[in-house]
Structure formats: structure tokens, C-alpha cells
Structure 1
Amino acid sequence: MELSRIEKEQIIEEIIYELKAKRDGGNKNLICRCPFCKKDGKFGIYIGRETGRKSPFMSHCFSCGSSTTTLKKLLETIGRMDILVTPTANPGARLETLLVFAGDEDESIDDSLNIVELPDFHKRCFSHDYLKSRGFTYDDYECFPVGITGRLNYKFNDYVIFPVIDEGDIVGYVARHTWSKSEIEAYNRKAKTKGNYRILRFRNSTENDFTRLLYNYDSIIDGQTDTVIIVEGIFDVVALVRKMELYDNRRIVVIATFGKKISHTQIYKLQSKGIETVVLGYDGDAVEAIKKISGELSRYFNVLIADIPNPEKDWEDLSYEEIYRVFAYGLKTPLEYSINKIQQ
């Protein structure tokens, strides 16, 4: 595959950053520490024009003799496959359930799930002071079921409980305590000295591993939804749907992976519903996670990154105008995102 001049230069800059390499006097090679034998100044990477004998990104160590002949092998060697340009993602090539992923020879996809019972005395609610403080509207309660147990189940006092639904079945739940993190920590410090029980910020279901679950998964309609926006948590989903008014939008759906990670099973679940484009919308402080995950996703989808410029903000914190700017002017390819973060 031929690289454009800009793509080639961006990859060169990434390699320079990764290996702390220096250009030689003729600007035809990068010189750095060998990733094989670890000898300084012995590893050369050719960055000149294609010739009869040399191709860009061929590499060789003049100490141990180790070599790579392609860009892909070089990037595999230095652990930076995330910067490999992949313009020909094939969304139609769906993963098989028993497909083994590269690097995980013993791992096959298992998307089987057990049906989960919600906590005793659970009842759905359509008004709650804590959720109101986080911006919930009537449409949010309609679109994203949430409940409480009241005082009838002491384990879930002061929790709001979000069911996780997959193909119409409840397969998990996330219970979030209504106190702030600082309030919980202050209480737990006192509880420790008095021998009282500690409060957990989250008290979630345990029957199914959350690496097999996606929040708001059933909003994806096979044959209608072609784009998903992936965020970290439930409140990110709700905030983004509300502020972008995506309640009834079937072409674009916001989902959560329950943290800054994505599993092979979650990737398979998205492919099984025909998703073509993924917009990665993790928090602004998740730079390294975004680089890694976008590289993995690029093997199966067209990938863009919604770059939140302020690392201290998430979708709940952003105004409509700020979100509009992110999606209108801040969408980046994985390579553009990596280069942008180096330059900052």
C-alpha cells in the first residue's frame, strides 16, 4: 500500500517519538537504540525514497544483525501497530465466534450471557433528586430505565440501579451510590475506626463479566445503525444522547464499554449488528487508552476519535456548544490523534 507524503511523515514522527530516534545527515535514515539487542545508535530505519534495493521503513541493526523488511513488521517489533494506516477496513468481514485473535492464541469469543435478577424490591423510578442533579430529564427516564429499592433492601439504600439489557433480557445492572466520591471516602474513614460497614461507590451485578456487556446495546438496530459512539460509562451515554438529541436516532447510537477498555467479545457484538463506523469518545485524560484501543478497532471498523480538548472534562461537563465543536471540528483519525498529542 502506498502512503501519501503526509502519512509517511506522520509515521516517521511517531517512530522518532517512540524510539527517541535521530535523522542522519542525509535525512534518509533514522538512527536509534536497537529494539532487539538494546544497543544504542546501532539500529537504522530507512526513510528515503523507494529504490531497487530499498523500501521505506526497512530496518537493520549493525550490532546484532536483526532486520525488518516492511512497515508492518517494524511497527509490530516496536509495539506501535496503532499507527499503521488502515484505509481499507472491511466492515462486511464479520468475526466468527470461534475466531482466534492475533496475540491471544488461547482466546476465543464467548458471548453467552446469563439472565440476571434485579435486586429485591427493585422498582423503576421516573423522578429522583440525585438524577435530577445530574441533568436527567423526562426523556432520559423513558429512554434509560433506572430504579431504586427504597428502604426495603438495606444493601441498596441510596443507590440508583441501571439495568443492562441485551436482546431484551436483563443481563446485568450497575448500582451507583448517590453520595459523591469524597462523601463516601469520608464516611468510610470513620466507619473503619468504628467497625461499621463500608459504602461501595458501585455495587454491580456479578453473574456476567462486564467485558461481555455493552450499555445501550439494544438501541443498535441491525440494518439501520451504521455508526456507534463509544463512551466509558452510563452517565456519559445519557448526557451525550440528551445534548445531541439522539433519542430517536437509529443511524447513530451511543454505547458504553464500562471503562477505558474494549474486549474482543464487545467488538464481535458490534460487528454482529453490522456496525461500520466507530467514534471513540472516551474522556480527555484517556490518551494512551485511546491510542491503543483505536488501533485495535481499526482492524474491523472505520474509526474516528472525538477529541475532548480539556482532559479534566467529560461529556457531562461539556455544554452543547462545546460538544458541537468536538464533533464538527475535533474528529480525528487514529494517526492524526497520535500526532496531535505528540505536538501538544
Structure 2
Amino acid sequence: MELSKEEKEHIIQELSIELHAKPDGSGKNLIVPQCPYCGHEGGKYGIYIGKPTERKKPFMAHCFSCGHSTQTLDQLLTDIGRQDLIVTETFDLNGDKHINSFSFLGDEEKEIDDSLCIVEMPEYYKRTHFNKYLNQRGFTEDDYEYFPVGTTRHMNFKFDDYVIFPIIDTGDVVGYISRHIWNKTDIDEYNRKARRNGKFQIMRYRNSTENDFVKLLYNYDTIIEGETDTVILVEGVFDVISLTRKLNLYNNTHIAIVATFGKKISDIQIYKLQSKRVHTIVIGYDGDAVDAIKKTGERLNEYFDCYIADIEDSSQDFDSMDFWEIYDTFAFRLKTLTEYKLNKIQI
């Protein structure tokens, strides 16, 4: 039986009170802080309250910890002991209903393992507030203050000539990105000679390995649950820092800039954004990443209000653009996914 708008709203309200649940940023799911089946805390139990689709129906529910699912409202209400909310054909609704279910990303239900271990920074790592290489890349005092970075001060051969950025999640270091201070051309030239002479080769990046990077987001802790409405997704650490600097977003709690470490996004990264109740996502990948932007946009569009910052010059990224180029991108070239796809049709 199809519920009326009033019936659905009443049941959502009752479920929110009964289960202490809150809607996520998209408004399509109720996030329950404690699973009623396994008792796991952390918001891994969700109830879908959006519009029906081919694979999802309102009040389907799923726990990403124990895997328990319910497919119907009656099932959910019975399990939580709220049969009084079950609506029948003759029920005069002032009343109630059931909900519960969360088919994450529109895929088949599956466990989302977002667990992370704490990672030790490289031996002899020490934070710095002055670095010649970073200064040449435009780093300011605010950058050093807001984005921890350091070196091993030539006391760890493995990390000589690298700048190292810790990746922080809920206050814990869960990984790091280390970037060699030489440019790619110089590194490639050195490595060609090193291969001929059987010498040690230089890696452009030397990163942590303890946690898979599909579980990580750089600058994630700047997203404040219930306050940060919009997240701009970029590819890398330097994109985050340069965009924050150029738009002066250091203390802005409503907009956060987060890196996905490449031109794609994982289920776990989407789950992490969703759990912070983010409402709007702006994809800010490099201008030449057209196919990747389309794929990422399709995945995000179902769960967030999704837009693309369409960089006019495909050879540029935010790190290389000046303020006015960035301003024009966000002021005049912000597109919905449909608009972006139509704009990128090859004739």
C-alpha cells in the first residue's frame, strides 16, 4: 500500500524519535546512531526515506556492521516493537508507520568497512613552518598553521628531499603523503641515468601503506557535522591548500575542501561524506579529467546535490590558477552533471 505524504512524514518523525535518528546531508536516509540489532555505534545503521527507485523503496534499512537488512516498513516496525505505526487500508492516519533500510550507493547491500589504524609518521619527522620548496609553491604562514607539514631533516635517508603531509581523521594520524621536492621532469631524467648505472631511483611520492587510500580523505576533519553544507572535492593535497589560500577559506565552517587522492571516489569515501551530513558536493578535478568527472558525478549525484567546477583550460588545476581564474570557474562555470555532460559532447 502506498503511503500518503502525511503518513510518510509522520512515520519518519516517529522513527527519528524512537531511534534517535537524524537525516544525512542528502535528506534521503535516516542515520541511526546505534544499530537495534547488533548494538554497534557510529551511525552504520541507515533507513532509506527518499523517493522509490528501481532498487530502493522507502523504509528499507541496513546495518553496515552486522549486515542485517529489512525490506519493508512492516518488517522494520515489527522488529523495533512499533507495530502501532503499521498502516492498514482502513487505518485512519494521524498516526504512524514503519521504516528502515539503506541500500548504500544504490548497489547491493554490503558491509562498509571504514575502520582505520593509527599510523606512525616516518622516523625523525618534525613539523616545519618554513621550507624553501613550499615557499616557492606559494605557502604562507596560514598554510603552515592550518596544514601540518614537515620533513625528516636529512636524518632519514629514505625521506631525504621529501615534504611530508600527515593525513588526519578525527584527530588521529591515519596516513601520510610525502612528495619529493624535485619536479617530475628532473626526477624522470635522474631515474633514466640511474637505471643505466644501476643506482637507486627516486620515487616522486613515498606514502604510508598501513591504511588503504580508498578509506582516506585529506582535510576530512574540517567537515563539521551539521554545519558544513558544501564540500569541494579535489585530487591532491596541494589542490586543497592552494584553493583554501586563494579563496581564503581557512576559517569557513560552511565550505570544506577535501582531496580524494586521485580522479575517483570510493564507496567508503562517499559513506564518510554522507555520515557528516554533507548536502552539496562540487567536483573540482583537473580540467582534463572529463571521463573521471562524469563517472564520479554519476555516483555522487544520487546522494548529494552535485555540481562540477568546469575549469575552462583543460591543462590547468587549482594549484596553477590565479584568484580570478578560480573565481570565474565558481561564479560562471559551475554546472550540474547534466549540463556538464551536454557541454562535453564530442561532435
| CA positional deviation for 1:154 | 0.1
TM-score (norm: length of structure 2): 0.71
Q: Which residue of 1 aligns with 2:313?
A: 310
| CA positional deviation for 1:108 | 2.4
CA contact 1:231–1:281 (8 Å) conserved in 2: yes
Unaligned runs of 5+ residues in structure 2 are: 1-25, 32-43, 47-62, 65-101
The one-letter amino acid paired with 2:148 is P
User: Deviation string for 1:30-50 (max 9, x for gaps)?
Assistant: xxxxxxxxxxxxxxxxxxxxx
CA shift in 2, pair 1:293/1:91, >3 Å: same
**What is the aligned counterpart of 1:226 among 211, 225, 229?**
229
User: Partners in 2 of 1:288 and 1:93 — Cα distance?
Assistant: 32
Q: Which residue of 2 aligns with 1:340?
A: 343
Q: Does 1 or 2 have the higher relative contact order (CA < 8 Å, sep 6+)?
A: 1
Alignment of 1:5-154 (within 5 A): 90-94=27-31, 96=46, 98=64, 101=104, 105=108, 107-154=110-157
User: Partners in 2 of 1:249 and 1:105 — Cα distance?
Assistant: 37
Identity %: 57
| CA positional deviation for 1:316 | 1.1
Note the aligned Cα RMSD (angstroms): 1.8
| CA positional deviation for 1:90 | 3.3
CA contact 1:91–1:301 (8 Å) conserved in 2: no
CA shift in 2, pair 1:246/1:92, >3 Å: farther
User: Deviation string for 1:258-285 (max 9, x for gaps)?
Assistant: 0001001000101111100000100000
User: Deviation string for 1:215-261 (max 9, x for gaps)?
Assistant: 00001111210110000000000010000000000000000000001
Q: Which residue of 1 aligns with 2:264?
A: 261
**What is the aligned counterpart of 1:291 among 294, 299, 302?**
294
Is 1:271–2:274 an aligned residue pair? yes
User: Deviation string for 1:127-153 (max 9, x for gaps)?
Assistant: 111101111100000000000001110
CA contact 1:285–1:312 (8 Å) conserved in 2: yes
User: Partners in 2 of 1:291 and 1:109 — Cα distance?
Assistant: 24
In terms of mean alpha carbon deviation, does 275-284 or 90-99 score higher? Answer: 90-99
Q: Which residue of 2 aligns with 1:178?
A: 181
User: Deviation string for 1:81-109 (max 9, x for gaps)?
Assistant: xxxxxxxx535545746266568658521
TM-score (norm: length of structure 1): 0.72
What secondary structure does 1:183 align onto? helix
The one-letter amino acid paired with 2:141 is Y
CA contact 1:228–1:277 (8 Å) conserved in 2: yes
CA contact 1:92–1:274 (8 Å) conserved in 2: no
What secondary structure does 2:165 align onto? strand
| CA positional deviation for 1:190 | 1.0
Alignment of 1:137-216 (within 5 A): 137-216=140-219
